[in-house]
Amino acid sequence: MTLLQLRILRETVRHEFNLSKAADTLCTSQSGLSKHIKDLEHELGMSLFQRHGKRLLGLSEGGQAILPIINRIIQDSENLKGIAQDLRQADQGQLTIATTHTQARYTLPKPIAAFKQQFPKVHLALKQADPNEIRELVLAGDADIGIATEVLAEDAALVSLPFYEWQHCVIAPRDHPLSQLSASGQSVLTLSDICQWPLITYHDGFTGRSRIDRTFQQAGLTPDIVLSALDADVIKTYVALGMGIGIIAGPAFDPEQDQRLSQIPVDFFGKNTTWIAFRKGHLLRGFARTFIQLCNPEILSDSPRNPAAAMLHRP
């Protein structure tokens, strides 16, 4: 049994049992993979794949049984290298963060700037993606850390730590009736008030859109959403054009830059939590843990409401 054989098996599964593609990503020949798999099957004394003649269709029962262990072995071996690198040069390496527009644009600039100053030699890569892609990136090991509001906390294969809580807010052009209402101080904006106007907000699956939909649905209201965008900048642009009023994440409103708009805080959409996630069992380099602390210093405190934080120390 060889680590290479195990890696080949994992990669074959990842590429949907297409040996040719697996061989490509492993930078070797198909024939090599074929032989290695055969050897492994011979050593374990059972076939690992379902075959139709010479086609690989899926894992056999035995293959399914051992795949989790194989994955752990490979993960451990990668962690080994990570630890070694950490001990050797704790301030160098690569940190890949997958995150959404909202986080990258409004929340992360500050912690990233602090991180860059503290670890100038670390190559920090920011991958912008939608929440589902972020989850995939983290699960595949193509990103060390994922940051998003959606999806992450629901995945059992991820360790998700709460980053911060926020609420949606309503934005409107400065000369909009709602803005007057808000400025007068007697802001008792209701959900049905909002439904009076054409709405612009996030696309499905982005930045708490699901929560917005649920709120309207539970109130029995049908909002007139005239535009759904992937990010707050697009929303703000069209709100400023007078196409409607916007619903964006609170942190996405910048009083200085968004002087053409006014912000009306509302609380009926409920609280959202943005999560910082990494793959279970994935060893985070020291500076990666530091980055998480820079994002939210409280994450470190092993408070009872946050048992997942313990994973940070002993993954």
Partner DNA sequence: GATGCTTACGATACCCGTAAAGATA
Partner DNA sequence: TATCTTTACGGGTATCGTAAGCATC
Can you give the binding site for DNA, defined by CB under 7 A?
Answer: 2, 4, 17-20, 27-32, 34-39, 51-57
Name which of 256, 258, 252 is nearest 231 in CA terms: 252
Q: Name which of DNA, a copy of itself, none residue 32 binds, using a CB cut-off of 5 to 8 Å depending on partner kind.
A: DNA
Distance CA 101, CA 300 (A): 26
Distance CA 141, CA 279 (A): 8
Distance CA 26, CA 66 (A): 21
From 16, 61, 142, 154, residue interacting with a copy of itself (rule: CB under 8 A): 61
Strand, helix or coil for residue 10:
helix
- Return phi, psi of residue 7, to 5°: -65, -40
Q: Name which of a copy of itself, DNA, none residue 174 binds, using a CB cut-off of 5 to 8 Å depending on partner kind.
A: none
| Residues between 158 and 177 with contacts to a copy of itself, criterion CB under 8 A | none
77 binds a copy of itself per the rule CB under 8 A:
yes
Closest CB to DNA among 52 and 314? 52
Whole-angstrom CA distances from 27 to 16, 37, 121, 169 are 17, 16, 29, 50
310 binds a copy of itself per the rule CB under 8 A:
no
CB of 294 to DNA, least distance (A): 41
Name which of 225, 233, 163 is nearest 194 in CA terms: 225
CB of 85 to DNA, least distance (A): 21
Within 8 A by CB and 6+ apart from 258, the residues are 171, 236
Beta strands in 106-229 (DSSP E): 122-128, 145-148, 158-173, 199-202, 225-229
CB of 81 to a copy of itself, least distance (A): 7
Q: Name which of a copy of itself, DNA, none residue 140 binds, using a CB cut-off of 5 to 8 Å depending on partner kind.
A: none
CB of 28 to a copy of itself, least distance (A): 17
CB of 234 to DNA, least distance (A): 38
Q: In the stretch 3-42, what mask flags binding to a copy of itself with x, by CB under 8 A?
A: x---------------------------------------
Q: Name which of a copy of itself, DNA, none residue 31 binds, using a CB cut-off of 5 to 8 Å depending on partner kind.
A: DNA
Instruction: Map tokens 């002993």 to a residue.
Output: 314
157 binds a copy of itself per the rule CB under 8 A:
no
Tell me the sheet residues that pair with 97. 126, 145
66 binds a copy of itself per the rule CB under 8 A:
yes
CA atoms within 13 A on the CB side of 116: 9
307 binds a copy of itself per the rule CB under 8 A:
no
Q: Name which of a copy of itself, DNA, none residue 147 binds, using a CB cut-off of 5 to 8 Å depending on partner kind.
A: none
Q: Which helix (H) or strand (E) holds 249?
A: strand 245-249
Residues that bind a copy of itself (CB under 8 A): 1-3, 43-46, 61-62, 65-66, 69-70, 72-73, 76-77, 79-81, 83-85, 87-88
